[in-house]
Amino acid sequence: MKAIILAAGRGSRMKNLTDERPKCFIELNGKKLIESQLEAIRAAGIHEIAVVTGYKSEMLTHFGLTEFHNPRWAETNMVSSLACADTWLRESPCIVSYSDIFYDSEAVILLMKSTSPLAVTYDPSWLSLWEKRFGDPLLDAETFCMDDKGFLTEIGQKPKIVDEIEGQYMGLLRFSPEGWREIKSIRNEIILEESDKMHMTGTLQRVIDANNLSISAIPYYGEWGEIDSAQDLSVYQK
């Protein structure tokens, strides 16, 4: 099992906090986000780790990770950055982590145990966290619905009511080579401009709509968080 951290973007919503450093260098409780991610991934037993770089890529070299670089990071989205690691994704299962989140090793282990071609972790207890972050949880929450077997049926849409949300997607996934082939097939069917703009959740929804394979949704009850703004730091600060 390998792991890939997606760290190409600047994180413009962090404003001046990312003027001189990539978003994964934001510190929470005295530790860089990328340091927390590496700690959790290695504690789960994964030691082949890559990072997809873009903005301020030179600052990530000293971690000694395999590097895949997205030279078009400023004009493309996360799935295009992930595609830069195509050689790994074609060869073996990979855990994929956003670089602006934190979690513990149990979240990674849960994904490692999955046998689904595509799997995501989610937070079933999301509501209280979103209320702390946004006041009104519907300001930023996205739909996340499953069938009775725990497979995703909808993700990433704008909900009208809280009941449309059975959990919140965390930005931590597992891709098998089969799952990656399905995503490549979907991307190959659309024009480059549209492909460049595809978010991860939008891509997963396209997989659901194509109905060629299922996406397993794995509940995670441990500590985690997403740092999407300067205000988020105060929510998670101990």
Mean pLDDT over each residue of the chain, to the nearest integer: 95
For the cut 90, the answer to whether the pLDDT of residue 191 exceeds it is no
Q: Express each pLDDT in 123-177 by its tens digit.
A: 999 999 999 999 999 999 999 999 999 999 999 999 999 999 999 999 999 999 9
- Of the options 3.30.360.10, 2.40.420.20, 3.90.550.10, 3.20.20.70, the CATH number for the domain spanning 2-236: 3.90.550.10
* Beta carbons of 122 and 144 less than 8 angstroms apart: yes
Region for 30 from its dihedrals, namely left if φ exceeds 0, alpha if ψ lies in -120 to 50, beta otherwise: left
What's the mean pLDDT in 75-81?
95
Mean pLDDT of 182-202: 92
- Residues 6 or more apart whose CB falls under 8 angstroms from that of 232 comprise 133, 225, 226
Alpha-carbon dihedral 228, 84, 214, 147, rounded to 10 degrees: 0
How much is the pLDDT for 53?
A: 97
The predicted model scores a pTM of: 0.96
For the chain, domain boundaries: 2-236
Average pLDDT on 214-220 reads 98
